[in-house]
Chain A
Amino acid sequence: MTAPGASPAGPADGRAQPLLQVERLTKHFAVERGLFRKARLLRAVDDVSLHVYPGETLGLVGESGCGKTTLGRTVLRLLDPTHGRIVFDGHDITDATERALRPLRRRMQIVFQDPYSSLNPRMTVRDIVAEGIRVHGLAKDRAELDARVESLLERVGLRRDALQRYPHEFSGGQRQRIGIARALAVSPELIVCDEPLSALDVSIQAQIVNLLLELQEQDRIAFLFISHDLEVVEYMSRRIAVMYLGRIVETAAARELWERRHHPYTRALLSAVPVPDPARKRLRILLEGDPPSPLEPPNGCAFHPRCPRSEPGRCDRDTPPLEELAPGSRHRVACFHPFE
């Protein structure tokens, strides 16, 4: 596997140093641990490498249960990695203690999928948004704290009278805004957006997408944008990584991926995006079967049981490495028989 750190310098701004660098990250969960049963391993994330540059968005797409959320939480050290290395702005945080992590926590934040369970129902909006400011002592006194909270609410498009209200008094979209304000409160450089749109109505989704893009532009925040909606990811991201069963199967610049999709799984995923034009004929690639269980991943390429191009004797035996098809294209595919 090519180490992503070895790739040529990053995006257009020319900064070579990635903000977040993840190398061969693996996260296993032990499940069904019983007195007389051996623990089984759930390979949620398997040998994933990725990097995010300051101010850019890396989109992470894949089906439900492919390990996107686990990956997002592990890179923030909200879960402990099994193997691999996580480097945030030069600091190796793979095994950092909670205490050592605390100053870095201010710089990396998370926005959640479920706007209901992500806000403490017993706290006012003011206390929810102020939590990070208090933890990191970012306000000198009460007045400054209040001023900061108010300006944060304004930035995410909420009215001042929201301050003293409780989460249940708001709609899903408004609650998502509160969650974004909470993350913004500590002025992070990286936000992991863990499916921030999938619980919202389509019209609200567009508002939140625009809000995120606006905030990114203002503060140069980098996003690791996790979603199963390829269209949104392409709209949001500079680069995209496609994940299947804990592994990254294809990664490229967003525009490049839109034009050339080499991996059969990416093709299938993209062909599922609805096109708002009834006259246009679409070639739907229908995948057979369900995604295999990460408890018993198939040998070889995890996608081979559902892959139209799988070659017996090879795809079901060897794991294809994630490699550039054309040298220098920075379009990497993990497939023995990629589409041209």
Chain B
Amino acid sequence: MERRALRRFQRNRGAVVGLVIVAGLLAFAAIGPLLAGHDPNTSDFAAARDGLGGPGGPSRAHPLGLDPLFRDLASRLAHGARVSLLVGLVATAVSVSVGAVVGMVSGWAADGRAGFVDSALMRLVDVGLSFPYLLLVMAIGTALGDVTIVTILLVLGLTSWFGTARIVRSKTLQVRSLDFVVASRALGQPSWAVLLRHVLPNVAGPLIVIASASVAQMIIAESVLAYLQVGLPPPTATWGRMLQEGQRYYTVAPRLAVAPGLCIFLGVLGFNLLGEGVRDALDPKET
């Protein structure tokens, strides 16, 4: 199985490209800060300036130039990669796991003796979806006061699973009525094992697609938090924050927005290609 899945993955050009992009970004996050050679949060007022006395453009010392506070852009981009990718991946893991568990339990319990569990969980999802997302995030952010990367991960992860739970629930309802699930129950498999062995692998396709789209959304969401002053406090560099900060200078120094924007774009592209590749590779019916 694993070997054949690997072969299917290798033969999928899009999947391989996605893997290369994601690996590249991860490598950038891992060793980029070492190569950049500047502290991301220290202003270098001695560096060469532009014609108006503002922060200078690309030079030998600063390959991507300086940001408006005279900090090295390349170094901030590399440090930002660490925070942004961590937020994107971990918050997605939290969100997708909670959504998958809630959705499967809810779908499994629906219309049976434990139907009230389904009703309760789905009303909770209704409440979660009807709340303005940003209001919820801001309320939690404000209430917590001291914002660290862990709180960001939890806030993003725990406020974004509602839609996933809905999708997984409906897919679970569909899968659980199939005869192979009935067969597994007839063999005496406990409910949790039926969910794990039969339902989960058959709802994994949509889950992987949701997860790969979610990584990019989380990176953006983190920047929205930062923009609303409830994210990671400055001067911490993240791609989202750099994009927000750079947009003001778009006409004068487009590189300030383009560089983090390109990173986010590559992240979105890479994770989506990788996600679709993994989904297809795990499907035994693909040749």
Asked whether A73 and B182 contact (CB < 8 A) given A120-B201, A135-B188, the answer is: yes
Contact (Cβ within 8 A) A110 B186 = yes
CB contacts (< 8 Å) of A21 on chain B: these are none
Chain A positions 104 through 118: 1 when the CB is less than 8 Å from some CB of chain B, otherwise 0: 011011101110011
Give A38 Cβ to nearest chain B Cβ, in Å: 17
Residues of chain B contacted by A135 (CB below 8 angstroms): 187-189, 193
Cβ contact within 8 Å between A105 and B202: no
Query: How many chain A residues touch the partner (CB < 8 A)?
Result: 36
Among A73, A76, A101, A121, the residue within 8 A (CB) of B284 is A121
User: Is A120 within 8 A of B189, CB to CB?
Assistant: no
CB distance from A26 to the nearest CB of B (A): 17
Whether B187 lies near A131 (C-beta < 8 A) is yes
CB distance from B184 to the nearest CB of A (A): 6
Annotate A89-130 by CB proximity to B: 1 below 8 A, 0 otherwise. 000000000100111011011101110011111111000100
B113→A80 contact, CB < 8 A: yes
Chain A residues with CB under 8 A of B282: 122
Question: Is A160 part of the binding interface, using a Cβ–Cβ cutoff of 8 Å?
Answer: no
Say yes or no: is B185 at the interface (Cβ < 8 Å to chain A): yes
**Once bound together, how far apart are the Cα atoms of A110 and B178, in whole Å?**
14
Contact of A102 among B180, B188, B283 (CB under 8 A): B188
Q: Determine whether B252 belongs to the interface, using a CB cutoff of 8 Å to chain A.
A: no
| B 159-197 to A, binary, CB cutoff 8 A, 1 in contact else 0 | 000000000000000000011101111111111010001
Q: How long is the Cα–Cα vector from A108 to B202 in the complex, in angstroms?
A: 26
Contact, CB under 8 Å: B182 / A78:
yes
Q: A166-B284, A179-B183 are in contact. Are A131 and B202 (CB under 8 A)?
A: no
Given the interface pairs A80-B113, A166-B284, A168-B284, the reply to whether A118 lies near B188 with Cβ below 8 Å is no
Contact, CB under 8 Å: B179 / A118: yes
Residue A298 is within 8 A (CB to CB) of chain B in the complex: no
Distance between Cα atoms of A100 and B189 in the complex (Å): 12
Q: Does B279 lie at the interface of the complex (its beta carbon under 8 Å from any beta carbon of A)?
A: no
Residues in B whose Cβ lies below 8 Å from that of A337:
none
Q: How many Å from the CB of A154 to the closest CB on chain B?
A: 21
Instruction: Report A333 CB to chain B, min CB distance, Å.
Output: 33
Scoring B1, B178, B180 by chain A CB atoms within 10 A of each residue's CB, the highest score goes to B180
Q: Which residues of B, 241-286, contact A by the 8 Å Cβ criterion?
A: 282-285
Chain B residues with CB below 8 A from A98, complex form: 190-191
Question: Do B113 and A136 touch across chains, with their CB atoms under 8 A apart?
Answer: no
A113: chain B residues within 8 A (beta carbon): 179
* A51 at the binding interface (Cβ < 8 Å): no
Whether the Cβ atoms of A131 and B184 lie closer than 8 Å is: yes
* Apart from the given pairs A117-B180, A131-B197, A135-B193, 16 other A-B contacts in the complex at a CB distance below 8 Å: A78-B182, A105-B186, A109-B186, A112-B183, A118-B180, A120-B197, A120-B202, A122-B201, A123-B197, A131-B184, A131-B189, A132-B187, A136-B187, A136-B188, A164-B1, A182-B183
Identify 24 residue pairs between A and B in the complex whose beta-carbon atoms are under 8 Å apart, listed by A's number: A73-B182, A78-B185, A78-B186, A98-B191, A103-B188, A106-B188, A109-B186, A109-B187, A110-B183, A110-B186, A117-B179, A118-B178, A118-B180, A119-B180, A120-B197, A120-B202, A121-B284, A122-B283, A135-B193, A136-B187, A164-B1, A182-B187, A183-B183, A186-B187
10 closest cross-chain pairs (CB), A and B: A105-B188, A118-B179, A166-B284, A132-B187, A122-B201, A102-B188, A112-B179, A120-B180, A117-B178, A117-B179
